[in-house]
Each structure stands twice: as structure tokens, then as C-alpha cells.
Amino acid sequence: MPHWIDELAEKLLQYLESHFDKISEPIILNGGLSVSGLQHVGRLRGEITLNSALRYALEERGYKVKQFLTLYTQDEWKGKKPQIEAFDNPSEARKYIGFRLIDVPDPKGCHKNWVEHFWDDFGGVLDHFAPDVNVITTTQLYKDKLKKYVKIAIQRADHVRKIINKYRKRKPFPENWLPLLPRCEKCGRIGKAKILEVNLDKYTVKYRCECGFEGESSIETGKLNWRIEWSAIWAALGVHFEPYGKDHATPGGSRDSASELSIEIFGRAPPFGTPYEWVGVLNPDRTKKVMGSSDFVGFTPRQWYEVAEPEVLRYIYLTVPIMKQVFLGLHKVPEYTNNFDFGERIYFGEESAEDVEEIKRAYELAVMYNKPQSCPFRLSFSHAALLVQVISEENFLEEAIARLKETGILKKELDLTERKLLETRLNKAKNWVKYYAPDNMRISIISFEESIKIAKDAILLVKDKSKQIKMLVDKFTSIPWALDAIKESMKEITATFDDNKAIKDFFRALYLVFLGKSFGPRMAPLLTLLQREDVIRRIKLLI
RNA sequence: GGGCCGGUAGCUCAGCACGGAAGAGCGGGGGGCUCUUAACCCCUAGGUCGCGGGUUCAAAUCCCGCCCGGCCCGCCA
């Protein structure tokens, strides 16, 4: 069975053939986001990943494609509780209620405004999740491409009204209503003013605002009503495809009405589309919550990018059917990465499974233009997470490679691509350990005081070995403090033990004294990272 | 009132569009690795496939009804 992206591509091409005169190129894909708050990772699902994968599929079929992302920056800032609380001074924040998003100041003062502040954690890393996305704002569109369609909408206001009123039986708009929300120049709020007169030649609107101010402002600073706005954007950008969140998908909902307006008012077939399900957060305590921008629930693409590879997220989104809920938690990055690696091995035929074709395609669409030539060496994420904790900071890539060879996990020389991939993964793992790793995956040396306490138990494991341990201490005092010498010394000691059980107990005792638990990373490399004196005084506790 | 998604092993889920002896990963348990990792390798899950009907030689898979959970829309953008 073909991947759903390919099915979508075929359907889109059919739709374009039957609803547009011919398939005009480039094919325009658009997505839309209102920057009402936290720009979470869920918004990468439909508006970014889906579109970019679709784009890739269409390009494979020989079409030119352009991918847009429209930011709804002209929308009203509603001042929901979490939005207000984003400010240090909530009472002051209330005065921005009704402002356009673009006019609300940055609550933290580090960017030009609210939009730029919250866009940063999404837009700043967007390239890594999908290349060549043309990001535009409605604020900009109202100054250029949208003007023509704003005029049409106003000229055909009565027709617009009749269509929209079909969808709002309870509160129909009155006659002489215009689909325009002007911005008051005095109080700064949008959509609070009654329109008195529109001058399309000057492109201005006279209004009387709720605040009492009567004035005239440029239509550019206001906006169209939502449904007509959506269809106007389609017309202005020439959109052929746009996915939409499930909130728009209800029959008779905003997508349906916008489609009708597109045909009736702008004489243009609406874009093809598909609804998509929202994404939720999965917390380590297993509670779940749907991600929400203005509710500030979720985490951002930047947060993902710090601890995980972007293609891993793309792989998730491309594996799960688009109408199914997905819950994501950053604590599960190792698992997600494993799944991605699995897909990669399937793709390169290193492993077999059922439904191979779909897995292969999901992988291909996840990596797109960054596909390696052949199946690269991959270090499992959880192993990487442990490894980064026991190698030194500087030169960590070389050290990691040496360690991996030593333990037999890496058996060949890495090429440049593989080195790069490994380096990336180690870096992600390092951050992941810092922020999200559960305690039992953290390796940390306990204090000497704790060591003394725990030694009482540890010593029971090696109670008849004090002679050998003394010998070890002697060796440790005299050898050069380096990996090989440490390893040699330990081998010499354990060689005198009677059985495996004794060796195991010996190591358990060591782990207890250093880590406070009876297991841990390979001991010798760990010891090289510690001070000789510290190692010796702790081992002495076992005598 | 309308719409979507889910209910399969302790957990996360795959399998259902083309019905044919209940699956994977993780966790848990056991073992291996001339040296010790939660790396890597091997073994181990006996679960009313939400419930009830129907179709069929055969249903987790198709049809009908119901129950439970999560979510969206009901005229904001």
C-alpha cells in the first residue's frame, strides 16, 4: 500500500486537473499559524512536515513546488490567562487585549514584539525540520498581495454577507455589513470599531471606535473577517494545497465556508486539503495534554532540536496516520530515535519487517534531501547518553570513537558522514542527559561522605579480598594514571579471584563506592576521569 | 445537535482498507559476554483483541447496535 503522502500527492494532482484549467507551476502549498503564544512542536505536523513531504513527493514526480507558511500576525491578542501571565506585570499586560498580535510587546523584552519573541523558538530552527519554507505574515500581506482581494471582498460585501450568514443563522450579520475589522488608531485595538465609510481609492476606512474615538485609518492596518480572509489569502498566494487542523474540519465549519467564499467571491477553486489531528504532550508521569499555543502547553521545535534529531520527529509524523493523536514527550527521545534508526536499517535493507514499503517511504520522506549514501553507523541513543557522561569534554568525538572500538560496538572506520552523524547524536544525547534523562540514566559520582556510608554495605561483597584490594591500591599509587595501566592493574587483581561471582561482587562494591549503585559504566574508563587520590581513598574504604 | 480518534500483553502501540493458527518495542524475569554498562547477544509475556449480535468453513480484521475514554465544531479568529 502506498504511503499516505503519495496518496495525497496523487489526489492533489487529480484535483488540480479537474478544478483548475491546468496544473500551473509552481504548485503552491501553504500552511497557517497564528502566533498567539508558544509555538509548539505540534505545529510542525500538518503545516510543516506534511507540506514538505508532499512537496518532496511532487518534486519526485517532476513538478515545481513552492511551500509557504503564513503567520497570522494581524489577529487579535485575546489576553487569555496564560497570555497575560507571560508578562511579568500582568495588570499592565491587560491593556494589550484587542491589539493585533504584531502590536503586542515582547513580554520578556528581548525581541521587537510578541510575535518575534514566540516565533523565534520555531522559526529559528525551522530550516532543520523543513528546508526552503517561505514564511510570510498577514501583516505584510495586507500591505501588498492581499489588497486586491480586500477590495473585491468589500465591493461584494453583500454577497459575502449572504454566504457567511448561511453559517451563522443565530447571529446573522446585518445589511450594509462589511467584512472588515479596522484598527483604531487611538486605542490600538482591532475589530472594535464601527465602520462609517470606506474609501477604496484611498484605501482607507472611517470608523467610530468603542473607545469613543472617531477617525480614519488605512485598511492595511486592519483585517478581513476570518473566513473571507482565509479564502483571500488562498487567492493572493495562489494556494493549491493547504492542510488544516481538525478544528476547521467539521462539515459546515470554517474550511467549508472559506471554500464557498473562494468560489463565489474570488471565482477560484479552493485549494485541496486534508485535516490533521493535533499533537499532545506526554509527561514523564504519564499525564497527557493537548498542545496549545495560547495555552502555552507543549514544547518548541528548538527544545526538540537541542536534544533530538529533527528527522526523528519527521519520522514520527510520517509514520502515524494524519488523523491519529500523537503524544510526545522529550523523555522518550531515545525510544523515538531507536524507531528512526530501525526505519533506516529497513530502508537500506539491513533488517527486514512487515510493511517494509511504508517504513522505507516514511524514512525517505523524513530525511528527504539528507539521505545518506548507504546505511550509516548509528549508536543507539541511550548508549550515547551513557557514553557522553564518561568521556571528557574536549575531543569527545575521538574519545567516543575510541571507546566504541574498544568495546567492539564499532568495528570499522567511519566516513565523514558517519562521523558527522555520530557527533550530532552525541551532542543531542549530552543535552538530553542534562535536561530530560531519568535519574537512573545519570551517572554521577557520589560525595566521599556518602561513599563512607555506603562502604559499610559494599565491604560485605569483598570481605575476604582485602589483601587483593590492598595490592590494587599499591598498583594504583604507582602506575601512570591512564586507561591501559588502570585496566591492566584491575585484570591482574581479578585474575586471582576464584570465580566469576567474586569478580562481579568486586565490581559491585566498586560501583557502590563511586556511584552509590551496584552497576555503572565500564569501570576503568570511568576511573581515568577521576583524580587518582580520590579513587584510592574510596577503594581503601573496602579494605 | 454535528464530527473525528482511540479501547489488542504491566506500559507504548502495530496488525484491521485485501478475514485464515494473537505481534513488536520497552519494562519485568533468567542467562551469556577473558572484566564488568540499562551497550551487545540469547531465552522468557500464556492477553475475554471494550461489550453484544450478525455475515462466514473461518473475524482483532467485514456489517449492525451498544459501552467507555480523549478531542473538535455549534457561527471567534
- Summarised one tens digit per residue, pLDDT across range A146-176 is 999 999 999 999 999 999 998 887 788 998 9
Query: Is the ipTM of this structure higher than 0.95?
Result: no
Neighbour-count burial for A146-183, b at 16+ CB within 10 Å, e otherwise: bbebbebbbebbeebbebbeeeeeeeebeeebbbbbbb
Listed residue (A53, A23, A123, A11) closest to A317, CA to CA: A53
- With beta carbons less than 8 A apart as the criterion, state whether A27 and A64 touch: yes
Residues 450-489 of A with CB under 7 A from strand B: none
Residue whose entry in the numeric block shows the C-alpha cell 594514571 = A481
- Residue A189: DSSP 8-state: B
d(CA A282, CA A10): 34
What's the rounded mean pLDDT across residues A336-359?
Answer: 83
When pLDDT is cut at 50, 70 and 90, the band that residue A34 belongs to is very high
What percent of chain A has pLDDT above 70?
98
Residue spans of the domains in chain A: they are 4-147+225-276, 180-224, 279-370, 381-441, 448-540
For A496, the 3-state DSSP assignment is coil
Q: What are phi and psi of A136, to 5 degrees?
A: -130, 160
- Residue A284: DSSP 8-state: T
Between A451 and A179, the more confident residue is A179
pLDDT for A136 equals 97
Question: For A417-452, how does the pLDDT look when each residue is reduced to its tens digit (9 = 90+)?
Answer: 999 999 999 999 999 988 888 776 777 778 888 888
d(CA A378, CA A376): 6
Contact between the CB of A148 and strand B at under 7 Å: no
First to last CA, chain A: 66
Contact between the CB of A206 and strand B at under 7 Å: no
pLDDT for A354 equals 67
Contact between the CB of A495 and strand B at under 7 Å: yes
- CATH no. for A4-147+225-276: 3.40.50.620
The region of weakest confidence among A130-134, A322-326, A335-339, A483-487 is A483-487
Q: Which nucleotide is nearest to A404 (CA to C1')?
A: B39
Contact between the CB of A247 and strand B at under 7 Å: yes
When pLDDT is cut at 50, 70 and 90, the band that residue A274 belongs to is very high
Question: For A289-314, how does the pLDDT look when each residue is reduced to its tens digit (9 = 90+)?
Answer: 889 999 999 999 999 999 999 999 99
- CATH no. for A448-540: 1.10.10.350
Same fold yes or no, A4-147+225-276 and A448-540: no
Contact between the CB of A277 and strand B at under 7 Å: yes
